Structure 1
Amino acid sequence: MLIGEVSRLTGLSARVLRHYDALGLVTPTGRTAGGYREYSADDIRRLFHVESLRTLGLSLTNTRRALDEPGFAPADLVGELIRHTRQRIAAEQELLTRLERVDAAAPAQWGDVLHLVALLRALESESGGRRQQAVLSHEAPVPARALAEAALTEEDANVAGALRWSLARADGRGLAELAVGLDADAAEVRRRAVEAIASVPAAEATALLRRAIGDADGAVRGRAALELGARGGVDAIPVLLGMVVAGGRDVEAAEVLGRLAEVAGVGDEIVGALQGDVDSSADGPTRLRITQALAEIPGTTAHQALLRLTGDADRTVAATAAAIVHLREQAGPV
């Protein structure tokens, strides 16, 4: 078979076939009556073997070694090809992500594209100061998707604050990416997601906070409950009560419970739960936290609970309750 026929059969150009011949990779072994070099059936078979190995990413040199050297083991080479392929895929995925972020911002001019690319590159900088400056000083609207994805990985507190500030101004955009963070295996990522979601005033963010109060991580659960309660969400009350009992942001939890008692009319229920907790706990610090939390709850029910605690066997609890009662009575009718 002459070179033109081989080219039509294989789809390889005559130039490629001549290059393979020059390298000694696939050399025609036959001759026609007119002296032209001719590919034999074995030559064609070798050519298909070459192309098969080339589809795996082998170089021409390694392809020839694989076909001609019996001792050339494939394991190490294939392993190296796998590593290179993974690196290439990662680079392509990074490029795709960057393109999607630019596309999501719907740039109208090439100047907008250049500004966005500069921002995205700055967000990947190792310098926290540069990342923060990029978020705060970017003139064009910052792509909310890029902000949200950066917020889920940002470890620098100042940069994270700048990202949350920008997300708060994005009218709810970026919440879909933050919602993905709530399902992350790493608790730290879920915490960042909740912090960012808490900065967004949209109703969709409130729904995500309700979802987060069931998180297995106490910090995630507590932060979500504080923000949800501040928005009037009474379903945060059990978590807030647990924070008072367990300690850790208990002062903030008590303040939010006080606001909920006032605006949602659930003061009696909160006081009843706190009384049950104080009755069931023999731990002095816990009883003291509950007493201090009762100080935040308006109304006569809370006042009566505090009066009862003035006779508590724990002198610190009793003294604290008495001081709170005195201050409330001085402030006017309960």
Structure 2
Amino acid sequence: MLIGEVARRSGVSVRMLRHYDAVGLLRPTGRTVGGYREYSPDDVRRLLHVEGLRTLGLSLAQVGEALRDPGFDPSGLVADLVRATEQRLERERELLARLHTVDATGAGTWTEVVDVVGLLRALGSPAAGRRQQAALAAADGPALPAELLARSVLAESDPHVAGALRWALRSALERAGDPDAAAAAALAAGLGSDDPAVRRRAVDALADAAPVPSATAALLDALADPEPRVRRRAATAAGRAGAGDAVPELVAMVRAGDDDVEAAEILAALSRADPSVAGRVLDALTGGLDRTDPATRIRVAQALVELPGPGPQEVLRRLAEDADRTVALVAGTFVGRRA
């Protein structure tokens, strides 16, 4: 079979067949009287083996080594190919993500494209200072997608850089009016992380984004987080956004003395905004109060001062007669203040 026919039947170009011959990978068994290459059936079978191995990503040298040694063990080479392919795919995914990011910014000139690419490179820098500068620039410069900034916040371990990224994210969300679905999903995914540090970064970012509706909705999910700091941050942010579902955690904060002053202020604001919430707050604050320690009763008395309606005044009068002298003095002072 002459070289032209082999090329037509195999799909391998004449030029490549000649190259295989030159490097010793596939030399035709014979030659015609005129000197043309002539391939035997065994040559064609070897060609099929060569092409099959090349589709796995083997170099010509590796193909030659495999075909020369009948006892060649492919397992090690295949494992190397798997790793190399995974690395190449990762590089391709990173490139694709960068292209999507540039496209999402709506950069209309090559100068704008270069600016965006520069920011992306800086955000990936190993130097925290450079990442922070890039985050600050992103807040006022090219409009990077909120999803990218959300992912960057979750991955950032340096607190100063994370703060700058949250600022940039908030700016992006304010420009959009509400987080797009991808950004909200990224932060919600952070709340589901097994790493408490990632969940803390997620709730901090969502708190900075509140009262954007979708951010507040995600914060309410964080009220069930097993870590107290995440729950407290979610409760204060959701409460400031007007979410009554934050009341139980805010009350728990008051009674436990964890950021109790801030929690009491938010409970008062929620109570003034909605009378039905006011009743829930009062019941939660005062339930089982006589079984608590004096410090807890004092904190509850302090929280009751700002609550609307006659109910808090009645509780304060009872506390003014408390068996603990300090509790009674504090509550009595507050009774006079509310009168």
Output the TM-score relative to the length of structure 2.
Answer: 0.87
1:179 to 144, 164, 185: 185
Aligned twin of 2:237: 227
3-state SS in 2 of match to 1:169? helix
Going from structure 1 to structure 2, the CA distance change for 1:149 and 1:174 (only over 3 Å counts) comes to farther
CA displacement at 1:35 relative to structure 2: 4.4
CA distance in 2: counterparts of 1:117 and 1:4, whole angstroms: 49
**Identity percentage over the alignment?**
49
Aligned twin of 1:145: 147
- The farther-off stretch of 42-51 and 269-278 is 269-278
Going from structure 1 to structure 2, the CA distance change for 1:175 and 1:244 (only over 3 Å counts) comes to farther
Return 5+ residue gaps in structure 2 as ranges. Answer: none
- The farther-off stretch of 148-157 and 90-99 is 148-157
Aligned twin of 2:208: 199
CA distance in 2: counterparts of 1:217 and 1:53, whole angstroms: 53
- The farther-off stretch of 166-175 and 270-279 is 166-175
3-state SS in 2 of match to 1:199? helix
Question: Structure 1, residues 256-296: CA drift from partner, whole Å, max 9, x if none?
Answer: 112212222232321112221424x4556555544444344
CA distance in 2: counterparts of 1:245 and 1:99, whole angstroms: 51
CA displacement at 1:322 relative to structure 2: 2.7
CA distance in 2: counterparts of 1:98 and 1:321, whole angstroms: 64
Moved over 4 A (4+): 281-289
Going from structure 1 to structure 2, the CA distance change for 1:156 and 1:14 (only over 3 Å counts) comes to same
2:246 to 236, 242, 260: 236
* Cα contact 2:301–2:330 (8 A) shared by 1: no
Aligned twin of 1:319: 326
Question: Structure 1, residues 133-163: CA drift from partner, whole Å, max 9, x if none?
Answer: 1222353333323222211212222222222
Question: Structure 1, residues 18-77: CA drift from partner, whole Å, max 9, x if none?
Answer: 111122211111333544321111111111111111111111111111122134211111
* Cα contact 1:149–1:178 (8 A) shared by 2: no
Return 5+ residue gaps in structure 1 as ranges. Answer: none
Aligned twin of 1:62: 62
Going from structure 1 to structure 2, the CA distance change for 1:77 and 1:88 (only over 3 Å counts) comes to same
CA distance in 2: counterparts of 1:125 and 1:321, whole angstroms: 59
- The farther-off stretch of 239-248 and 3-12 is 239-248
Output the TM-score relative to the length of structure 1.
Answer: 0.88
How do 1:1-334 and structure 2 match up within 5 A?
1-138=1-138, 139-170=141-172, 171=174, 172-173=178-179, 176-183=182-189, 184-186=192-194, 187-200=196-209, 201-265=211-275, 266-279=277-290, 281-282=291-292, 286-313=296-323, 315=324, 318-329=325-336, 331-333=337-339
* Cα contact 1:244–1:250 (8 A) shared by 2: yes
CA displacement at 1:173 relative to structure 2: 4.0
Q: Which amino acid aligns with 1:59?
A: S
Q: Which amino acid aligns with 1:181?
A: L
3-state SS in 1 of match to 2:332? helix
